[in-house]
Amino acid sequence: MIVLQNLIDAVSLGAVYALAALGIGLIFSVMRLINFAHGELIMVGGFTLYTLAGQPLLVMILAALLTSTVLALGMERVAFRTLRKASPATLLISSFAVSYLIQHIVLLAFGSRAMGVAFLPELGTAIDLGGLRIPLLQLVTIAVTLVLMAGLVAFFRLSETGLQMRAAAEDFTMARLVGVKANRVIAFAFAISGVLASIVSFYLVAQTGSVSYKMGVSMVLIAFVSSVIGGMGSIAGAALGGFLVGIVSVSLQAYLPVDLRPYRDAFVFLLFVLFLFWRPDGLLASRADRDRV
């Protein structure tokens, strides 16, 4: 029974990591950009919920979705579009600059202390299923993640824009030569990453009941690790990596000696380093390893 409880915890955490990793992996697949400012999209979604606390739930959710999406599109248009032909190192530095800029704007506006916000507190209650006590938040997280992933699969396979994004992920230069519009594809990728980031912020705020200007930092680091494990440039690999990191994290928390549990994250990253020695390209390495233009 304990093993099953730990498995549910692992899948729930992995679902959140998978959504965060999808946002990172999607941008990298079409632009060869590791967008470390993705964490600030999560953070801004959380602060939107804080700012609108007390408003109808639907208003809070839609506003957070809109804010993160608009910020993602603005980020692409202002910070990255003009540097699209620059080296990967330049794009990486730009993403760090955007990250720090947004962090410090929020820091000036709201201060450095974490602030409490009541968002879906009813999801903190647990239900009994055959001797298992499962928080509603975990069940909702797993269900929402499955629905979103199914929706993304349908989008990439059935819609014209989704097919263009898949083509761009395979070979951006060739996709442009056959008529795929680079600006449109990349803007769609950033918009989707903004939506995914806001949904991750819903989970974090509902779980912790607070927001802070650094709330997206650890999540984007885990999302990056998950993307590398799954295979940079592979969207499916990013999701797979997120689930694996979640399973490993919960397993270590459950089975490490009590004295070592505070160092769980250190063990996670140690396993990550060892994994790279074995599979440096990730589990589902993308065939599209050419530079983007």
- Lowest-confidence segment of 124-133, 190-199, 209-218, 220-229 by average pLDDT: 124-133
Please compute the mean of the pLDDT values over residues 28-42 and round it to a whole number: 87
By DSSP bridging, strand 132-135 and strand 126-129 are antiparallel
Is a pLDDT exceeding 80 seen at residue 207? yes
Q: How many residues does the chain have?
A: 293
Cα–Cα distance for residue pair 199/201, rounded to 1 Å:
5
Cα–Cα distance for residue pair 221/249, rounded to 1 Å:
14
Percent helix, strand, coil in the chain, to 5, is 75, 5, 20
Q: Taking the mean position of all CA atoms in its chain, how far away is CA 291?
A: 23
Among 282, 275, 262, 251, which Cα is nearest to 13's?
Answer: 251
Q: Quote the pLDDT of residue 97.
A: 92
Percent of the chain scored above 90 by pLDDT? 28
- Lowest-confidence segment of 60-69, 116-125, 137-146, 208-217 by average pLDDT: 116-125
Q: Which amino acid is at 66?
A: L
Q: Is 257 left (phi over 0), alpha (psi -120 to 50) or beta?
A: beta
What pTM, to 2 d.p., does this model score?
0.88
Q: Quote the pLDDT of residue 267.
A: 87
Please name the residue that has the structure tokens 């990298």: 28
Q: Are 45 and 62 in contact (CB under 8 A)?
A: no
Ordered by where they begin, the domains of the chain are: 2-278 (1.10.3470)
Q: Quote the pLDDT of residue 292.
A: 44
Q: Are 228 and 276 in contact (CB under 8 A)?
A: yes
Most confident of 37-51, 73-87, 112-126, 128-142: 37-51
Q: Is 132 left (phi over 0), alpha (psi -120 to 50) or beta?
A: beta
More confident residue, 181 or 272: 272
Q: Quote the pLDDT of residue 284.
A: 78
Q: Are 242 and 21 in contact (CB under 8 A)?
A: yes
Write the CA distances from 155 to 73, 164, 192, 203, 288, integer angstroms.
19, 11, 11, 23, 20
Q: Residue 290 — pLDDT band, cuts 50, 70, 90? A: very low
Q: Quote the pLDDT of residue 105.
A: 93
Cα–Cα distance for residue pair 185/196, rounded to 1 Å:
17
Q: Average per-residue pLDDT in the chain?
A: 85
Can you list the positions of beta strands (E) in 24-176? 115-116, 126-129, 132-135
More confident residue, 281 or 15: 15
More confident residue, 114 or 169: 114
Q: Quote the pLDDT of residue 171.
A: 63
Cα–Cα distance for residue pair 213/3, rounded to 1 Å:
35
pLDDT in tens, 40-97: 999 999 999 999 988 899 999 999 999 999 999 999 888 888 887 777 788 888 999 9
Is a pLDDT exceeding 80 seen at residue 104? yes
Among 248, 283, 286, 284, which Cα is nearest to 266's?
Answer: 248
Provide the 3-class DSSP secondary structure of residue 96.
helix
Q: What is the residue-wise DSSP string for 14-42?
A: HHHHHHHHHHHHHHHHHH----TTHHHHH
Cα–Cα distance for residue pair 163/59, rounded to 1 Å:
32
pLDDT in tens, 158-173: 888 777 777 766 666 6
Q: Residue 194 — pLDDT band, cuts 50, 70, 90? A: very high
